[in-house]
């Protein structure tokens, strides 16, 4: 019997990741290539199709492709489009799924990366038996995927779950979409860096982080500094975790999830972000939610979470 | 053929309202009685049952009761309980549905009043064809019922949709559950009164509202004052509508509703609350939501919205 496989495709601003994944989450062949450099989306899709054909040849067993799942910025699940994605070269509304369909005869599903991560958590991760949970991706920005009643919330026009742009302070920092005090301006890898620079400017404390430019300051340097006892790094994690925990408590009042999962670059800082977030989440919960909402890391294998999430889109439909 | 009817029961802190409602939302017989004065919940339930029997005798046609729907504070839909309701005499966790079941052989559904209002909006009101919308009830407090993917969001433990207790300002007013800056402390009939009193203390402007004590200041006096050109009343509505609009914009980023419905005492102020709320909602929406979210009054007949909402619980299940 041939093995059933899904193709997971994650289209990031820099890299596109492609892989073949089975129902159990095993990744059989994968590669990545640069997303940029294709002014016409059709050229990009042709290269994508040839990369998939290349990967197919790497598989030494009989297989059947059951579908393609695609995670992409500003992807619209209902329409199969990528719409006004700031990080991609293609402007306007791109009928992406139908372009991919000219190369493949299987069902094609597309949504944004945070929604794909949430579906991945159900199919492969730590939310297998959960009906109500929230996934928060903490990378360059803050993305979110929300499950309620056992289904992803897409909303009226497939654009639900933009928690990175909740305004927490009308006098606050501008976020990537021009929202004053948008949550991701504080809680994300970039938000953490902004807080580091705020603290470096406000205080006269010595810090190893004074040796980095904004562009060269990577998250792991901040984690390393916190581990070395750097007070600026520790204060920045505390501030970031406090804002995250307070806002998660508000999100609980919306959909009352069983668990909230954190993933992405900032989540890799581990206890430095989880501990303050957990403390301030619990402190700010309504009485009847206290002790009932778990804050957890993703259960997907860390390295290939983007491909797994995209592939999970296929299995999630296939099971229905 | 006998007419199919649902019984709708709304248990408020002061009055219990009961009525017989058909699938189309016609109310055939109804009454209300005082909720308080029954220390044992069993005594209250017996009186409730006798009131229903009395109403049955008023009906001069053949009918069949298909179910009982109950809206009550802190009601848990999953468990059929009323839990720690601050406004009722009965403490702790009350197995309310099973107590009612001893008197009636039909299915019984119970949830909180805001959730009942949301289901009422689907069954009888302006959300008949909507899958994604939010109902906000603006009375003594702020309640909410959220539909996504065509279903009410109950959450992991049936306590989702507590938007009145979203904290908007960690240094702000205490709300009824002890949350600092809880939204309902600003946006509700009580919140409006608190804002009036804040403005009366901050300013030296003359105002007809300086003649009322806090307890005697009813919402309609504030609306009347605004209509008379009273600057304090108008400023209070503007402040209340601004906070409401800003927070509704955040809620849109969560579930991307097609519409948001306002009902309850404060919503009866009409344009005084709708206009500033609409303006600040639109101004604060993310670019891809702008112009796509309607702010609407309830479509249920104003007077009996509580009974209709409770009865709708029955029809919503009956249709499945």
Question: pLDDT tens digit string along A62-76?
Answer: 999 999 999 999 999
Give the SS3 label for residue B227.
Answer: helix
Cβ-Cβ contacts under 8 Å, B93 against chain A:
none
Judged by CB atoms closer than 8 Å, whether chains meet at B251 and A254 is answered as yes
**Alpha carbon of A115: minimum distance to chain B alpha carbons (Å):** 13
pLDDT for residue B239: 98
The CA distances from residue A94 to A40, A48, A154, A298, in Å, are 11, 16, 19, 31
Mean pLDDT score, A278-290 = 95
Cβ-Cβ contacts under 8 Å, A244 against chain B:
none
**For the domain B128-298, what is the CATH superfamily, name and number?**
ATPase, nucleotide binding domain (3.30.420.40)
CB neighbourhood size of A283 (10 A): 12
Q: Which two tokens stand for residue A306?
A: 């983007």
Instruction: Return the CATH fold of A3-122+303-318.
Output: Nucleotidyltransferase; domain 5 (3.30.420)
Cα–Cα distance measured from residue B210 to residue B220, given in angstroms and rounded to the nearest whole number: 15
Nearest to A153 among B148, B158, B251 (CB): B148
Cβ-Cβ pairs closer than 8 A, A with B, add up to 132
Give the SS3 label for residue B143.
Answer: strand
Which carries the bigger pLDDT value, residue A310 or residue B14?
A310
Q: Which two tokens stand for residue B178?
A: 């002890």
pLDDT for residue A251: 97
Confidence of residue A320 (pLDDT cuts 50, 70, 90): low
Nearest to A253 among B84, B163, B249 (CB): B163
Indicate which of B73, B82, B286, B316 best probes the interface with A, i.e. most A CBs within 10 Å of its own CB. Answer: B286
For A19-62, write each residue's pLDDT tens digit.
999 999 999 999 999 999 998 999 999 999 999 999 999 999 99
Nearest-Cα residue of chain B relative to residue A170:
B246
Cβ-Cβ contacts under 8 Å, B153 against chain A:
148-149, 254-256
Q: Is the pLDDT of residue A9 over 80?
A: yes
Domain segments of chain B as ranges: 3-122+303-318, 128-298
pLDDT for residue A133: 98
The CA distances from residue A72 to A66, A114, A263, B196, B245, in Å, are 20, 9, 17, 48, 31
Cβ-Cβ contacts under 8 Å, A184 against chain B:
none
Confidence of residue A84 (pLDDT cuts 50, 70, 90): confident
pLDDT for residue B320: 54
Judged by CB atoms closer than 8 Å, whether chains meet at B165 and A257 is answered as no
pLDDT for residue B319: 64
Nearest-Cα residue of chain B relative to residue A166:
B250
Cβ-Cβ contacts under 8 Å, A148 against chain B:
148-149, 151, 153, 155, 160
**Alpha carbon of A297: minimum distance to chain B alpha carbons (Å):** 19
Q: Is the pLDDT of residue A298 over 90?
A: yes
pLDDT for residue A319: 64
Which residues 6+ apart lie within 8 Å of A121 measured at CB? A127, A133, A135, A261, A298, A299, A300
pLDDT for residue A13: 86
Judged by CB atoms closer than 8 Å, whether chains meet at A167 and B250 is answered as yes
Mean pLDDT score, A247-263 = 97
Judged by CB atoms closer than 8 Å, whether chains meet at A160 and B132 is answered as yes
pLDDT for residue B102: 95
Judged by CB atoms closer than 8 Å, whether chains meet at A156 and B256 is answered as yes
Do the beta carbons of residue B118 and residue B147 sit within 8 Å? Answer: yes
Judged by CB atoms closer than 8 Å, whether chains meet at B161 and A250 is answered as no
Cβ-Cβ contacts under 8 Å, B161 against chain A:
253-254, 256
pLDDT for residue A31: 97
- CB under 8 Å, gap of 24 or more: what pairs does B199-206 form? B199/B232, B199/B235, B199/B236, B199/B239, B200/B232, B203/B232, B205/B231, B205/B232
**Does this chain's domain A3-122+303-318 share its CATH topology with A128-298?**
yes
Residues of chain B short of pLDDT 50, as ranges, are none
Nearest to B289 among A132, A159, A163 (CB): A159
Give this complex's ipTM: 0.92
Q: Which two tokens stand for residue A25?
A: 């989450």
How high is the mean pLDDT of chain A? 94
The order of strands in the sheet holding A3-11 is: A27-34, A15-21, A3-11, A63-71, A108-111
Cβ-Cβ contacts under 8 Å, A146 against chain B:
254-255
Cα–Cα distance measured from residue B11 to residue A43, given in angstroms and rounded to the nearest whole number: 63
Cα–Cα distance measured from residue B151 to residue B68, given in angstroms and rounded to the nearest whole number: 20
pLDDT for residue B177: 86
Mean pLDDT score, A129-156 = 96
Cβ-Cβ contacts under 8 Å, A257 against chain B:
155-156
Cβ-Cβ contacts under 8 Å, B293 against chain A:
156
- Which of B229, B237, B236, B188 has the alpha carbon at shortest distance from B208? B229
pLDDT for residue A318: 77
Judged by CB atoms closer than 8 Å, whether chains meet at A253 and B166 is answered as yes
């Amino acid at each position: 019997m041939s093995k059933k496989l899904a193709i997971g495709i994650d289209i990031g601003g820099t890299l596109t990741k492609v892989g073949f994944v089975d129902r159990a989450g095993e990744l059989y062949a994968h590669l990545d290539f640069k997303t940029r450099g294709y002014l016409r989306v059709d050229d990009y899709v042709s290269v994508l199709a040839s990369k998939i054909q290349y990967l197919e040849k790497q598989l030494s067993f009989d297989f059947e492709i059951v579908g393609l799942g695609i995670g992409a910025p500003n992807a619209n699940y209902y329409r199969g489009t990528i719409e006004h994605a700031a990080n991609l070269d293609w402007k306007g509304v791109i009928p992406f799924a139908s372009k991919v369909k000219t190369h493949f005869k299987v069902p094609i599903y597309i949504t944004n990366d945070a929604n794909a991560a949430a579906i991945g958590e159900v199919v492969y991760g730590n939310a297998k038996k959960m009906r109500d949970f929230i996934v928060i991706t903490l990378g360059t920005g803050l993305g979110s995927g929300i499950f309620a009643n056992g289904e992803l919330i897409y909303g009226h026009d497939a654009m639900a779950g933009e928690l990175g742009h909740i305004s927490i302070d009308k006098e606050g920092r501008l976020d990537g979409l021009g929202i004053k005090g948008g949550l991701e301006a504080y809680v994300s890898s970039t938000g953490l860096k902004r807080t580091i620079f705020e603290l470096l400017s406000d205080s006269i404390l010595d810090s190893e982080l004074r040796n980095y430019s904004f562009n060269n300051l990577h998250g792991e340097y901040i984690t390393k500094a916190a581990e070395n006892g750097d007070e600026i790094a520790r204060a920045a994690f505390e501030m970031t975790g406090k804002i995250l925990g307070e806002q998660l408590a508000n999100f609980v009042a919306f959909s009352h999830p069983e668990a909230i999962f954190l993933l992405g670059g900032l989540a890799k800082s581990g206890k430095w972000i989880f501990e303050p977030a957990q403390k301030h989440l619990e402190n700010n919960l309504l009485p009847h939610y206290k002790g009932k909402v778990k804050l957890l890391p993703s259960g997907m294998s860390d390295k290939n979470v983007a491909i797994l999430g995209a592939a999970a889109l296929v299995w999630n439909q296939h099971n229905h």
